[in-house]
Amino acid sequence: MDPGALLDLLKRRTGFLPAHAGVLRELGGLMAPLGPEVALAFYDYLGRDEELSAILHAVPGRVERLYGTFARWYGGLFSGVYDRTYAEGRRRIGLVHARLGIGPRAMIPAMGLVQELSLEHLRSALRGPEVFPAVEAFEKIIAIEVALIEESYLEALSTGLSLGHRDLEKALVAGAAELLAGA
């Protein structure tokens, strides 16, 4: 599915409205600086898993580079701009993860950690009636994030299977490589 059309569908299905985008944009000053701290927790979490640690440390300097990439991604959650370019970027993130062999069983729990840390910060930093719209907007954008990335995995898997791979992990990796090469 076209990333822009998928994003529109996900906005409808989650009830993500321009007001939610506005709330997220307003939260940017509060939340975006938390990106490096969340990145440290995120990569610490992944590093405790033998399989994921091997992927993270396969290339010297990869983890250090990923800290910055993660912080930029995290800041983007609070940009207030959720358009075709945003959706295409999330598709690419999913394809890069898939090409490295990082599938949904790693990504979804790790996103749960991002959500947990972010919601904890929102609840401690905000008071009264401002908490609910902040939490609601954040939960909606996280649902959209996960769905966009998950769809890229499905696209990669489908492409890999069409290339003749029968092993699902190999199909995911090969399909993602093929899609990224054509991008």
- Reduce the secondary structure of the chain to three states and give it as a string: CCHHHHHHHHHHHHCCCHHHHHHHHHHHHHHHHHHHHHHHHHHHHHHCCHHHHHHHCCCCCHHHHHHHHHHHHHHHCCCCCCCHHHHHHHHHHHHHHHHCCCCHHHHHHHHHHHHHHHHHHHHHHCCHHHHHHHHHHHHHHHHHHHHHHHHHHHHHHHHHHHCCCCCHHHHHHHHHHHHHHHC
Report percent pLDDT > 70 for the chain: 99
Q: What is the pTM of this model?
A: 0.93
**Average pLDDT for 103-131:** 93
Whole-number pLDDT of residue 13? 98
Mean model confidence pLDDT for the chain: 95
Q: How confident is the model at residue 10 (pLDDT cuts 50, 70, 90)?
A: very high
Question: What's the pLDDT score for residue 127?
Answer: 87
**What mean pLDDT is predicted for residues 44-67?**
92
How confident is the model at residue 183, as a pLDDT? 67
When pLDDT is averaged across residues 104-121 and rounded to a whole number, the result is 94
pLDDT band (50, 70, 90) for residue 158: very high
pLDDT for residue 1: 75
